[in-house]
Every structure is written in structure tokens, then in C-alpha cells.
Structure 1
């Protein structure tokens, strides 16, 4: 996570050095000419405070989300990343949507519901701690603050729930012995 967040700072240095040239490369809802921007959205931030506001929770929540191993972490990150970007592309308000907050909300939702799907007391205890730290942020999935992509937050959170469901389903499948019928 530290490497990824460090990379986000490198991208912001480049953006500042080029006169904020990257900020128009976010997701533009329903614009077929810029599909590749679905991949760049979480990497681009409006300014240093925007990046720092995402960096701290991204470090903590992303680190906690790695508890299932790196392969699982990359899988849940892909689900959250694409859910957030595609959700913004289909349902977002006009303008360029940028920032890693979709990942933050996705990791938050993943950590909050993973214990329910997995039926794990330890993961439920972790969820309570995560909720105590970041539960108030959940209001960010609702419209309200101009210039903030609540759509990215909402669809990132939906991606986190989908990822938690998928991980628990795969874990149950791998621990259930296979049965064969003739």
C-alpha cells in the first residue's frame, strides 16, 4: 500500500509540473471517446489536499484489506476500481471524476461486511474498529458536497460489498470437499 500511495504522490508531482494536465483525464460519464480514463481515475487528484485526504485512509484500509493475501487483495482492488469507475461512467454527473476515494470507500465497505459474509468473529471485531474510525465517512456515498464525486464513493462501496461476497463465496467453495456423482 505504501508503494501505491507513493506512486500517487509521483503522479501528483507530474500533474503539478505539467500545469494540472492530468485532471481532465478522469472519468467523463457516458463519453465513449475516453474509455481508457476508467483506468486512470483513482490515480489522479485535484490537488495535494485531495491526495492527502485519500492517502491516509487508503494506507490503513488498504493494509487491512491485504489480510487475505496479495492475490486476493489485487482481486478485490480490481473489483472496487472497476465498479467505481464504471458506476461513475454510467450514472455520474457531468464533468471529470478523479481521485482514489472510490478505492477508499470500497475498502471500507469490504472491511465492514466481510465478517458477515465469512461468518468470522475476528473479521467482525475488525469491522467494529474500522467503523469506529471511518463510519462517519459513509455519509459520503450520498449527494451533498458540490465538486465531490459521491457517485465514485457509492459505486466503490458497492464494489467493496461485491468483493467481500465473492471472497467469502470462494473461501467457502475451497474449504468444502468436492463431491462426485456417477
Structure 2
């Protein structure tokens, strides 16, 4: 019973992130949100805040809806694993820091780095934890993304001019590192 409550509480964090994204996008229709200020521009000291704010900004409805679907799926599955909250904070900060340090110069916005971070966390948990829950979640993610024709592996190396391959790749790496770091943490009973 306690485990189930914790998992619902974990997924609530994903829903809060989504609510913030949608709220900011709707507000941005009335009052322009300065993505040039709140986005993440690599190696720009004036854009350090972007490490925290860039996942909440989206260029258009298609961008927001795509990340919403990915975040709902990967976020729900990742929320079933132990250390979800710590892993989320770790993925959030490490992805942003790596993009800021190593990405090509552009204004990076969108939650796809977090989506790919959860993807890495789920896949990494299957590799590092080697328990039935981790394997089932990884399999579920692969089946769901195949069914909805979402190519998560393909987006890791998408070189489309409008896609931040850096956010995708660094998010996935951050998720794998989180899975490794928290591999021995057990679900509280």
C-alpha cells in the first residue's frame, strides 16, 4: 500500500512539470515569454538560469504536445522505479549542465532532454538493477513507443535543424548515470 502511494506521489511530479509547461505556453500566447532569456544557450553566463528553465519552454504546440506525450509515457514508467525524485533532479541538472558545457551554440528549449533522461533511466535500470520490475518497465517502454510509433532511439541521433540532439543525447546519458548511481536503492516496504 505504501509503495503504491509513493508511486502515485512520484508521478504527481511529472504532472506538475507538465502543468508548468502548459501554463507557460498558454501565458506565452498572451504575454510573450522571453525564450531568448530563459532558454539554454551553451557557454553563455547570462543563460545559466536556462539550465533549470529551458525544459519548460516550447517553440509551438506541436513541440509541446510531442514532449507531453513522451513525458507522460517515460515519466509514468520511470516513476515506478526507486529513487525517482532524486533521479529526476539529477537528470534535470546534469542534462542542463552538459548542454550548457558542450552543446553547439543555439537557444535550446523543450523537455525532450528530460524525456530522453527518463528513457535512459529506465533502460539503465534494466541493465544495472537486473530485477523483474526494471526489465518489465523497459519492455513496456519499448512496446508502447513501438505501438505509438515513437522512435526514441532514432531521436538520440536526429540531426534535424530544429532538434537539439545535444539535449537528447545528454539526457539519455544522464538517465543512464542516474540508473547506475541509484542501482542499489531498494523500494521501501
Is 1:26–1:37's contact at 8 Å kept on the other side of the alignment? yes
Map 1:59-138; keep pairs closer than 5 Å: 59-68=72-81, 72-134=83-145, 136-138=151-153
- Aligned with 1:46: secondary structure? coil
What is the match of residue 8 of structure 2? Answer: none
- TM-score, normalised via structure 1 length: 0.85
Structure 2 residue matching 1:28: 3-state secondary structure: coil
Aligned residue-pair number = 171
Larger radius of gyration: 1
In the aligned structure 2, how far is the partner of 1:157 from the partner of 1:117? Answer: 15
Unaligned 5+ residue runs, structure 1?
Answer: 175-182
Equivalent residue number for residue 176 of structure 2: 161
- Report the CA distance between 1:59 and its aligned residue: 1.1
Maintained 8 Å contact 1:28/1:97: yes
**Paired position in structure 1 for 2:43:** 30
Q: 1:14 aligns with which of 11, 17, 27?
A: 27
Match of 1:178 in 2: none
The answer to whether the 8 Å contact 1:114/1:164 transfers is yes
Whole-angstrom CA distance in 2 between matches of 1:7 and 1:23? 18
Which of the residues 145, 160, 163 maps onto 1:148?
A: 163
Query: Counterpart in 1 of 2:55?
Result: 42
Q: C-alpha displacement at 1:103, in angstroms?
A: 0.5
The equivalent residue for 1:52 is 65
* Distance across 1 between alignment mates of 2:49 and 2:20: 19
Moved over 3 A (4+): 169-172
Cα displacement (A) at 1:60? 1.8
